[in-house]
Amino acid sequence: MKKTIHPPELDPSEVPRNALDRCIYKLGNLLSLLFIFTVAISFYEVVMRYVFDAPTIWVHETASFLGGCLFIYGGIYALATNKHVRVVLIYDVVSDRTKRWLNVFHHIMGLCFTGMLSWAAYQMTKDAWLSPLGEVHLETSGSAWNPAFPALVKAMILLTIGVMFIQFLLHLIQELNGLRKRDHV
Amino acid sequence: DYKFKFQSSDPVGDKNFQIQKEWTKRVETMTNGRIKIDLLPVGSVFKHTETLDGIKMGILDGEITAVSYFSGKDPAFGLIGNTVGAWSDTSQLLQYINYGGGYQLMNELYKPYGVKFIGGSTTGVESLVSKVPLDGVDDLKGLKIRAPEGLVQQVFAAAGAAPVNIPGSEVFTGLSKGVIDAADYTVFSTNQKAGMNDIAPNPVYPGFHSLPLIDISMSLKKWNKLPPDLQEILTVSVRDFAQDITTQLAIADRKAVAEAKANPKITIHNWSPEERKKFREIARTQWAKYAKQSPNAQKVYDSITQYLKENDLL
Amino acid sequence: MFDLSSLGIGYGSLLMLMSMIVLLLTGMQLAFVTCLVALVFAVGWFGVAALPLIASRLYSFVGGYVFLAVPMFVLMAALLDRSGIARDLFDAMKVFGRKLRGGVAVQTLLVAIVLASMSGVIGGETVLLGILALPQMLRLGYNRKLAIGTTCAGGALGTMLPPSIVLIIYGLTASVSIGDLFKASFVPALLLAASYIVYVLVISCLHPEYAPLPTEEELAADADVNYFKALLFPLLTVITVLGSIYTGIASVTESSALGVVGIMISAAIRGELNFSMLKDSAKATMSTCGMIIWIGIGATALVGVYNLMGGIDFVESTILALSGGSVMGTVLIMMLILLVLGMFLDWVGVALLTMPIFVPIISGLGLDPIWFGVVFCLNMQVSFLSPPFGPAAFYLKSVAPKDISLGEIFSSLLPFIALQVLVLASVIFFPQLALWWK
Ligand code: NA
Ligand code: NA
């Protein structure tokens, strides 16, 4: 009786385009369950605090940490499934060929930005993992619980931006191949 | 000649920010325009916990911030940044910083980050916002209290309270609805202005719990390039800034206290010296624990306890 | 190589804005446009050493506790839309759609108000209404523009009524009480919703063909609504979310988590909860959040660089110079800036960019920052609908029938934008609308 309003299939433009994108998509589907875990621990915190008068010291920071990592991952997930918003007023009306060249341009710009950002993230992560004297010391949150989440989130940023760089590179190669094949037909 | 960008840990609307801005103007006048400091509000370039990195990278030239924000980099900053229970009033803290070894210690701690500690200050003894009457350490048992990260939280936990970690922005709603019973927020005048004392009408003033160390610091490299006269002007101006901000806030506090006293719904609680002493003793046990977290934290512990002992403040 | 700082802040700002608009119009993803412009200006203005600033801002942005409310609200919407709860709610509101001309549109707006009191983000609601209400109105032969406009404008109400992530972020940047902001936004939000309803009624009165009445057959077909069941679960959810915020069992982020649990329990009682539904909802949350948060990341990067360039002083002095110190002039210039930025940027970006500059000016002029928060929130209502970057339109597009183009959506929204500007003007000229309780 109930209609399925969400078709299980993805829109053709949103299908992951290569092996890397497929991996990101699959892993992302798995990781997305952590959102529900975050809900669960937040609920636990409310119950502990309100019913048992015993607030935890770890929920707030763990939830923020998981959220932060998932938000970052969401960037490559949305890139793999082409979900990032664009202004399509012009993009949608140009010819297929022009659109492909626009895509090439976007991928090159993407490479520029992830290239620069990877270096920036590397600098930041280095500072969070090494003390100014060069010993390994993970930056912590400074709270009473004091987990090393800041250092971990920063490393996650570096990793994700690096993956994003490769994503753009593969997309660029695929787009150029597509253009070449079309020209030779 | 020198144009610097400093970032504050206060938002623009705050009285603290206005006082800090006045300091930058004074520096400009005193140096006859040779130093111009552009003061940016909290978060405008870096998050408040990241300004030390910002100076290290050479993006920011300086900061006006609470030292305890850097606890995650080294627990030493947490201990010196808010040595809960060590100082009864602002002058005791300023004496330790200016004449008791604090200045040298802070410069030693900041040096690896390429940062020069120009001078220290504080806001004032913070008042404790509370819904329920608190007249002594025993009343803290089971109290749901919002406290910032670090030593403060640990001390409250040791005193039997249940510290809750909610962001500053949710303190107001949290209090008005009873998520928390009390909050370590800020100085009395600001609390009063924000309406905290109307929803939580049992403030403890003067507070017994928190006296943050505020520092004005800048890039060590850029400091070393300054001629000695400008270095001296900066140092002296920061020493005056400490007087200025603590005095202005104290005056504002007194006004706000008078206003609160006139309001029959608000009862100000002032702890007796015995209760304050009890709390301080609990706090001290936590310093020792905290000090074990890093060699620098131990250094801070030794320096402060030695100073307190020599000056008969223990 | 190239030193952008020699341009000076005035031309620098202009170049920044122009390059952003040009890149956006090529169809490049908004999140990446702002990131790229931020990085290029960081290097061009300050040199390579300034790059880590962007990474640091990225880190600071994603770690913020309040932003956790975003996935919670999105998850809530995703669950609502995969369970039959929202559909039942919509059906129960049919009572308004039967005899009244324009009734289904009114019904849509009333459902929008209920959904808006559960949710605090833009997106979930628009998607829900796009799935539930839009096909209904199109099937009944409603004027397409009226149907699209109602759905989209109604969906955008989510951030106007409390709880609202826009007001929360404003409260954080301006350091004013979020509770007061919620209180102050209430009347303007209802005023806005009422203006939509009145517009729908008036236009369907003037053009009866825009809103045909249902036939006898259709009326007979849906006579069997279980009102108790249909209204119970949505009401329970509203009570959990708003109730936990107002009675204070939980913080805003936690309340949104409670809302998710509330909906899960409702769905379980209705026998609809299963693992694949949870999985699907979580997946939807991942991709929507990835999109929203990365737009925020781009904006925060841009803002950091612009602030470092001296943008704050520049904008402040420009506004004061243009207005000549007149209070109303200053406010109107700010409104103009907000409306223009709202055309090209996401609200997070606009808030982060302008509030640190505007709020002190507003306070300095002796105006109430709480009132300004409501005004800002109304501005962002406009920004959700205004082309070329109109998030509400994008969300609707993602679920609307394929023959509805983005161009058609935007043109349908024009009358609603006019209504928003009208309500905005009323709140500007009659601040009591927001501050009556003070
Ligand atoms: Na809402
Ligand atoms: Na817009």
pLDDT in tens, C315-349: 888 998 988 878 999 999 999 999 998 888 778 77
Q: What is the pLDDT of residue C171?
A: 79
Chain B contact for A55, CB < 8 A? yes
Residues of C in contact with B47 (CB under 8 A): 56-57, 59-60
Can you spell out the DSSP letters for C104-143? HHHHHHHHHHHHHTT--SSSHHHHHHHHHHHHHHHHTT--
Relative to the alpha carbon of C124, which ligand is closest? Answer: 1
Highest mean pLDDT among A126-140, B217-231, C64-78: B217-231
B136 reaches C (C-beta below 8 A)? no
- Is B16 exposed, middle or buried, given 0-12, 13-18 or 19+ CB atoms closer than 10 A? buried
Nearest-angstrom CA–CA distance, A102 and C28: 8
* Ligand 1 centroid, distance to C235 Cα (angstroms): 14
Cβ-based contacts of A146 with chain B (< 8 Å): 72
**What does the alpha-carbon distance between residue B217 and residue C330 come to, in Å, rounded to a whole number?**
36
Q: How far is the CA of B293 from the centre of ligand 1 (A)?
A: 44
Q: What is the mean pLDDT of chain C?
A: 85
Which chain A residues are within 8 Å of C388, Cβ to Cβ? Answer: 87, 89
Closest CA of chain A from B40, distance in Å: 22
Q: How far is C241 from chain A (nearest CA, A)?
A: 12
- Give the other-Cβ count within 10 Å of A4's Cβ: 7
What 3-state class would DSSP assign to A136?
strand
> Tens of pLDDT along B165-182?
666 666 777 787 677 889
Q: From CA C12, how far away is CA B103, in angstroms rounded?
A: 41
What is the maximal distance between C-alpha atoms in chain A? 72
How high is the mean pLDDT of chain B? 89
C62 to chain B: nearest residue by CA? B47
Residue C53 to residue B166, Cβ atoms within 8 A: no
Percent of chain C with pLDDT over 70: 92
Question: How far apart are the CA of C428 and the centre of ligand 2, in A?
Answer: 20
Tell me what pLDDT residue C221 has: 66
> For residue A7, what pLDDT band results from cuts at 50, 70 and 90?
very low
Residue C161 alpha carbon to ligand 1 centre in Å: 4
Ligand 2 centroid distance, CA of C135 (Å):
25
Question: B194 with C279: CB under 8 angstroms?
Answer: no
Contacts with B107 (C-beta within 8 Å, 6 or more apart), sequence order: B116, B117
Taking the centre of ligand 1 as the mean of its atom positions, its distance from the CA of residue C234, in whole angstroms, is: 14
Q: Where are the domains of chain C?
A: 4-433
Give the number of whichever ligand sits closest to the CA of residue C349: 2
Nearest to A124 among C27, C52, C288 (CB): C52
Closest chain C residue to the Cα of B15, Cα to Cα: C360
Q: Which residues of B287-299 are buried (b: 16+ CB within 10 A; e: fewer)?
A: beebbebbebbbb
Judged by CB atoms within 8 Å, which residues 224-253 of C form the interface with B?
245-252
CA of residue B10 to ligand 1 center, whole Å: 29
Residues of chain C contacting B14 with CB distance shorter than 8 Å: 175
Amino acid at C140: L
What Å distances lie between residue C304 and B88, C301, C335, CA to CA? 39, 5, 22
Question: Which tokens is C303 given?
Answer: 């803002």
Residues forming a β-bridge with B2:
B35
pLDDT tens digits for C112-126?
A: 998 888 777 777 788
Cβ atoms of B292 and B93 closer than 8 Å? no
- pTM for this predicted structure: 0.87
C2 touches chain A (CB under 8 A): no
The answer to whether C122 touches C392, Cβ cutoff 8 Å, is: yes
Distance CA B50, CA B71 (A): 11
Average pLDDT over residues A12-21: 84
Whether the pLDDT of residue C144 is over 70: the answer is: yes
CB C412 within 8 A of CB C149: yes
Angle in degrees, 0-180, between the axes of helices C124-139 and C391-399, rounded to the nearest 10: 60
d(CA C434, CA C180): 10
Please list every residue in chain B whose beta carbon sits closer than 8 Å to the beta carbon of residue A139.
Answer: 72-73
User: How far, in Å, from the CA of C273 to the mean position of ligand 2?
Assistant: 36
Alpha carbon separation from C267 to C79, C130, C132, C273, C277 (Å, rounded):
8, 21, 18, 5, 10
In degrees, rounded to 5, the angle at the alpha carbon of residue A171 between the alpha carbons of residues A165 and A172 is 90
C71 and A CB contact within 8 Å: yes
State residue A5's pLDDT score. 46
- Cβ of C312 within 8 Å of Cβ of B13? The answer is no
Residues of B in contact with C312 (CB under 8 A): 40-41, 44
Span B18-72, pLDDT tens digits: 899 999 999 999 999 999 999 998 888 898 888 998 998 889 999 999 998 898 8
C-alpha span between C420 and B174 (Å, rounded): 32
| Residue C173 C-alpha from the chain's centroid | 18
Q: What is the pLDDT of residue C225?
A: 66
Q: Is A64 within 8 Å of C65 when comparing Cβ atoms?
A: yes
Residues of B in contact with C359 (CB under 8 A): 12-13
Which pLDDT belongs to residue A12?
A: 73
A115 inside 8 A of chain C by CB: no
Which ligand ends up closest to the CA of C238? Answer: 1
Q: What is the pLDDT of residues C278-324, one digit of tens each?
A: 999 999 889 888 888 888 888 889 888 998 898 888 888 899 898 88
Q: Which one of C179, C360, C369 has the shortest CB-CB distance to B172?
A: C179
Q: Please report the pLDDT score of residue B314 as a whole number.
A: 73
Other Cβ atoms less than 10 A from the Cβ of B280: the count is: 20
Bridge pairing between strands B2-8 and B162-164: unpaired
DSSP letters for chain B? -EEEEEEESS-TTSHHHHHHHHHHHHHHHHTTTSEEEEEEPTTSSS-GGGHHHHHHTTS-SEEEEEGGGGTTT-HHHHHHH--TTT-SSHHHHHHHHHHSSHHHHHHHHHGGGTEEEEEEE---PPPEEESS---SGGGGTT-EEE--TTHHHHHHHHTT-EEE---GGGHHHHHHHTS-SEEE---HHHHHHTTHHHHSB--BSS-SS--PPEEEEEEHHHHHHS-HHHHHHHHHHHHHHHHHHHHHHHHHHHHHHHHHHH-TT---B---HHHHHHHHHHHHHHHHHHHTT-HHHHHHHHHHHHHHHHTT--
**CA nearest to A11 within chain C:** C398
Q: Give long-range contacts, CB 8 A cutoff, 24+ apart: B186-189.
A: B186/B123, B186/B126, B187/B123, B187/B124, B187/B125, B187/B126, B187/B127, B187/B249, B187/B252, B187/B253, B188/B126, B188/B127, B188/B253, B188/B256, B188/B257, B188/B260, B189/B15, B189/B249, B189/B252, B189/B253, B189/B255, B189/B256
Tell me which chain B residues have a C-beta less than 8 angstroms from the C-beta of C308. 5, 40, 45, 59
In terms of CA atoms, which chain A residue is nearest residue B141? A53
B214-219 sheet: strands from edge to edge: B35-40, B2-8, B62-66, B214-219, B115-121
Looking at chain C from residue 265 to 294, which residues have their Cβ under 8 Å from any Cβ of chain A?
278-280, 282-283, 285-291, 293-294
* CA–centroid distance, residue C384 to ligand 2 (Å): 5
User: Model confidence over B202-221: pLDDT tens digits?
Assistant: 999 888 888 889 999 999 99
What confidence score (pLDDT) does residue A1 get? 31
Asked whether the predicted pLDDT for residue A185 surpasses 60, the reply is: no
Closest residue to C59, CB basis, from A87, A106, A154: A154
Q: Which chains touch A (3 or more CB pairs under 8 A)?
A: B, C
Q: Which residues contact C48 (CB under 8 A, 6 or more apart)?
A: none
Interface ipTM > 0.95: no
B222 contact C CB<8A: no
Cβ-Cβ contacts under 8 Å, C313 against chain B: 38
Q: What percent of chain A has pLDDT over 70?
A: 92
How far from the centroid of its chain's Cα atoms is residue B262's Cα? 29
Give me the mean pLDDT over the B193-204 stretch.
86
Chain C within 8 Å of B138 (Cβ-Cβ)?
A: no
Instruction: Give the one of A124, A144, A150 whose C-beta lies nearest to B72's C-beta.
Output: A150
For residue B264, the distance in angstroms to the closest alpha carbon of chain A comes to 30
CA distance B278 to B291: 21
Whole-number Å distance between alpha carbons of C244 and B108: 48
Tokens of C271: 């026998």
Q: Annotate A56-104 with DSSP letters as a single string.
A: -SSHHHHHHHHHHHHHHHHHHHHHHTT-S-B--TTTTTS-HHHHHHHHH
